[in-house]
Structure 1
């Protein structure tokens, strides 16, 4: 099948590559000329395990192409995926200007039947706006060309996007036209060889499904973080609590890991967007208000543990003269994405308190430099951060941080103090090795002190 994917960001690039991998002719379009030139040369703008070799393979096999020429891509393709950004406005609403601009551009150049697919995360009612924008452009041209608009939200986890796309839990398709639905089913059929996981529904329900799914997952994370904080106060172990509640089949274990809050490009934006949608209809989503507030507060918990360790308050300069090593900057492992990362909140607060920082992340160092500039120091490796450090803060759960050389850490630090925002180690073993170890919901000391 001939496909165009408009937008070469995270979602667009993964979708285009995976569709090409299953034999389709795919043109990936972007207005950024430098980005397209880099992609043609094999320079990938994001880090995602397995993506780079898959792109190279499909480019070499002439199934995947990159261009800035939208009219040419539209002319050659039957299915057009819109995968451009929908950033949050100050009021939490999704900014649809890029989606609607693409829709209008399609209407200005299409010359035959097309299926336009909203792949970007968009609020309920966007498909109708896309349809109206295309219809208006066609009317201005004085032509009558049939087209359909479909909602096909993505459910990709950064760091596991290739597997998520190639072996999806489900594919949600919102369409009103039976013929269009069958074409979409055919397109996704190679990903359904073992079991069909295609769920079909009306367009508005498909749009809502994406937001509802991410809001539910964000809720589980914030709930577990609240429980973890309570465990610290009462002397319980959140890992045991997680096992106890996760074994209930109605609950399960997924997204019950406590930490320093969620981040990334999806959860924060999507929670705000669905709350905005509710407000537009005169409704307040009280649960999600709490989810967002808990997440905001959770990003400060690790700093609180540092302050408690030094028995000081959060006044400016309280940590003056202290120097900390930081392991992990991306919002999660296996990505270089620092959007809404807890590391930003934590490091900025430590700087406000007067501390200095030396940080390391396997993939996000370039992104960190864009955010922090020369306000912090950057290390070439995880152990290099430890030199002259008063303590170590762990923010991201990269695998290489899970089994470190503890003796080397202990010898390098001025004192054996670790504040772990991802619960990577056993508190009992850390104590046996002589560390002062503070984690999330496992400190086992009433009041968390």
Structure 2
């Protein structure tokens, strides 16, 4: 085969033809070329807090009661971790609540990336925050109200609290100002060519067998088919109605922090019996969750009729971060005055801060119609504290200060 090494060489005698599909436009000879570079200053901190006799601390602290760690930082920045062993309030009872207080900062606003972890015998376990990248005012607070499930901690004490010691980690990267300066002349990036000589010559045409191999996706549908068939199953998940799902421990543990903790503890009844029953999760909801777990390439989609309070609660309980992300993408779509109340409640339960604000804005614009809806009446009866929170947040962020009428509405809900 003849290799043409001159395929990309310019020919000064031939005119430029922009319509020629095989030619790439050549760069002009420029008289002046300059370049510059921009870099953002960064500073990183890590802090680890070990709480000894953690089981005793759980008994001593009621919800709302907290512990403070020593300060950490440097001469410019100072932070403090604040732990509520039994949650910061009644709504978060059953969870660790973790706050990060910003005591000192040289600038009015602070931009940083934060990560909270529980250090375990098997490595760190991360917390899913509302936002990992935060912009906050000086003296602000970063909150993880449902930082970690106490049920998970108690189900695997040898992993999460060895020797009755809970160790919490906090990692911060602070982003400062952006600095720009001149640099040496920049060489344009050249497009990477294929490694084969044939590809570089421009004369290689792949045969049909190579095309077929490129198009094959042998693992694309295998996991969902395993769920449907139950083949090679080693664990059974049972819904509230008694319907059984034949599943696989390796898949469950890789996609759900709840199952990961449950199946790592080889002394639990669920592990020994290779079976777990959820008395409060329906077969319909479990079917949606398990199908999502078994679609490992892109997580699939959620239909509007599948987005229910039960699905949201189960996602939070089973600690499925990918499902949480999927819900965040669809929770603000197809809004109506009939579903807005439920959507706000879902966003609050999953701690989806941006989505919560967006939904509140819709509620504020259609407040009269939304408050006349059946879902609002049901929430007012079953969860009066949530209706108060929605009203106050909507009035605070998207309207003028509360007038007498709005205050009376809130007071009436409080009295009821």
Scaled by the length of structure 1, what TM-score is found?
0.24
Scaled by the length of structure 2, what TM-score is found?
0.25
Larger radius of gyration: 2
- Structure having the higher strand fraction is 2
- Structure having the higher helix fraction is 1
